[in-house]
Amino acid sequence: MTVEPFSAVEVIAAKRDQRRLTKAQIDWVIDAYVRGVVAEEQMSALAMAICLNGLDTGELACWTEAMVETGEKMSFAGLGKVAVDKHSTGGVGDKITLPLAPLVASFGVCVPQLSGRGLGHTGGTLDKLEAIPGWRANLKAEEMMTQLGSVGAVICQAGPGLVPADQRLYALRDVTATIDSIPLIASSIMSKKIAAGADVLVLDVKCGSGAFMQDLVAARQLARTMVDLGQAAGILTTALVTDMSVPLGLTAGNALEVREAIEVLAGGGPKDVVELTLTLASEMLAGAGLDQADPAAALAGGQAMDTWRSMIRAQGGDPDAPLAWGREHEVVIAPADGVLSGLDARAVGMAAWHLGAGRTRRQDRVQAGAGVQLHAKPGDALVSGQKVATAWTDRPELLPRALEVLNAAITIDRVAKPTNPPAGANRPGREAASGLILDRVVF
């Protein structure tokens, strides 16, 4: 019988009493949790102690490294290309990965995107892509490498061997009110990104009502923490803090967002989606040493669309197949002349969730054609009877509650009100004229 060097109780007590955990304690408790020696209730107690008392810089680096060491580590060195990754903390209408991955890959770098599914009011990249007939998320490692070598981009599901400690801990945090902890958020994201093996990582930290981080100070702190962890692991890491008080683009829902992503790849699409796609592409390409690359030209010239079509085909999808629409829909109209002064991102996301675009539990199925289609954005003038939004679903019984939430998301005023960026917002580095980019964090 193995004699354990520590006990869970002593590690929990140390953090409860605001004492610093040693590297040996952290390495042991993460490994022992994966082995089943540390029970779920014990890790719950430790997570709560961390949520209340935090981890210092050294503890967090050790915690993240210990999580990485519980599973496989990927490497793209054999491909002969710079591997560039992007991660978003999630938001409403955030379909940026879809046009971004093929756009950046069209410049000869490889873009391995290990993505997830949606839960609650934020959509999942894999759910969106599964709206394309035949497309599959689950690839073997050799299939992923082959596709990166030939196409340059892949968006797929992470395998079970990638940071198993995080898979268990994330599920535990979800049911123990320990989600809201910057050290635990940062280590969860960065352990997976470090294990994923990219050379360059650009983080998109969302801030606003539709984001996980609603406070700009906290969003900046999370961005700074993750950049430091990435750099310490040898990954060239930068972060943008971006506004998520209003939905990105004009759609929130799976097939709806794929259509919008294709519009961007075709040289059109909503201004904010195009802007953020190009800004993130520039950051990724600069990290890969391609400072002079022109991603806008790659959209206009069709190279990004060609890479998209190849990427979708490589994963079994038909890029020409029609995308689903919900079988039922209701339109929200402006009750009087005025200006759309508010469009709450979280409420729009919740409306899409009520329509069937999202899930409550990880095993729930989503509707491909469900979601919210917007016909106006804040600042737009409206006339009485004009369409503001359309709710789509396959299940008409879902419409009343969704419409109630959607109507609550919309504010119409007689006179336009000035819109100001969140207090403390600034735009160093590559500036975005619209105010979508709130900050840029570098090492």
Give the Cα separation of 125 and 154 in Å (integer). Answer: 12
Instruction: Compute the CA torsion angle 386, 392, 395, 399 (nearest 10 deg).
Output: -40
Sign of the CA dihedral running 139, 143, 148, 153: negative
Active-site residue among 192, 206, 346, 354?
Answer: 192
Least confident of 24-33, 77-86, 329-338, 424-433: 424-433
Terminal Cα-to-Cα distance of the chain (whole angstroms): 46
Per DSSP, the chain holds a count of helices (H) and strands (E) of 16, 13
Please compute, for residue 376, the number of CA atoms within 13 A of its CA located in the half-sphere on the CB side.
Answer: 25
Give the pLDDT score at 291.
93
> How far, CA to CA in Å, does 191 sit from each of 33, 165, 197, 391, 393?
16, 9, 10, 38, 37
Taking only the tens place, the pLDDT of each residue in 184-194 is 999 999 999 99
Reply yes or no on whether 188 is catalytic. yes
Give the pLDDT score at 360.
72
Give the pLDDT score at 430.
43
- In words, the CATH class of domain 77-320+428-441 is alpha beta
Reply yes or no on whether 243 is catalytic. no
Beta strands in 128-232 (DSSP E): 153-157, 200-207
Whether the pLDDT of residue 417 is over 80: the answer is no
User: What percent of the chain lies above the pLDDT cut of 70?
Assistant: 95
Pull the structure tokens for residue 285.
């390409």
Give the pLDDT score at 416.
64
pLDDT tier for residue 174 given thresholds of 50, 70 and 90: confident
Active-site residue among 188, 191, 245, 310?
Answer: 188
Active-site residue among 15, 86, 87, 220?
Answer: 87
Taking only the tens place, the pLDDT of each residue in 19-37 is 999 999 999 999 999 999 9
Taking only the tens place, the pLDDT of each residue in 96-128 is 999 999 999 999 999 999 998 876 677 789 999
Active-site residue among 86, 121, 128, 173?
Answer: 173
Give the pLDDT score at 429.
41
Q: Answer whether 317's CB lies under 8 Å from 248's CB.
A: no
Give the Cα separation of 158 and 177 in Å (integer). Answer: 25
Reply yes or no on whether 375 is catalytic. no
Give the pLDDT score at 431.
43
> How far, CA to CA in Å, does 389 sit from each of 66, 209, 336, 405?
47, 19, 15, 12
Taking only the tens place, the pLDDT of each residue in 394-416 is 999 999 999 999 999 999 998 76
Taking only the tens place, the pLDDT of each residue in 201-245 is 999 999 999 998 999 999 999 999 999 999 999 999 999 999 999
In one-letter notation, the amino acid at residue 115 is S
Instruction: Compute the CA torsion angle 384, 385, 386, 391 (nearest 10 deg).
Output: 140
Q: Answer whether 387's CB lies under 8 Å from 331's CB.
A: yes
Q: What is the mean pLDDT of residues 296-324?
A: 97
Supply the pTM of this predicted model.
Answer: 0.93
**Mean pLDDT across the chain, nearest whole number?**
93
Give the pLDDT score at 421.
53
DSSP 324: P
Least confident of 67-76, 193-202, 296-305, 363-372: 363-372
Active-site residue among 27, 85, 94, 166?
Answer: 166
Please compute, for residue 442, the number of CA atoms within 13 A of its CA located in the half-sphere on the CB side.
Answer: 8
Whether the pLDDT of residue 159 is over 90: the answer is no
Reply yes or no on whether 87 is catalytic. yes
Domain boundaries, the chain: 8-54, 77-320+428-441, 328-413
Q: What is the mean pLDDT of residues 374-396?
A: 97
Give the Cα separation of 225 and 165 in Å (integer). Answer: 20
Reply yes or no on whether 192 is catalytic. yes
Taking only the tens place, the pLDDT of each residue in 318-358 is 999 999 999 999 999 999 999 999 999 999 999 999 999 98
Q: Answer whether 277's CB lies under 8 Å from 96's CB.
A: yes
- In words, the CATH class of domain 328-413 is alpha beta
Whether the pLDDT of residue 425 is over 70: the answer is no
User: What percent of the chain lies above the pLDDT cut of 90?
Assistant: 86
CA angle 321, 364, 214 (to 5 degrees): 95
Spell out the alpha helix ranges (H) of 290-413: 295-301, 303-314, 345-355, 399-409
Spell out the alpha helix ranges (H) of 336-396: 345-355
CA angle 153, 156, 160 (to 5 degrees): 135
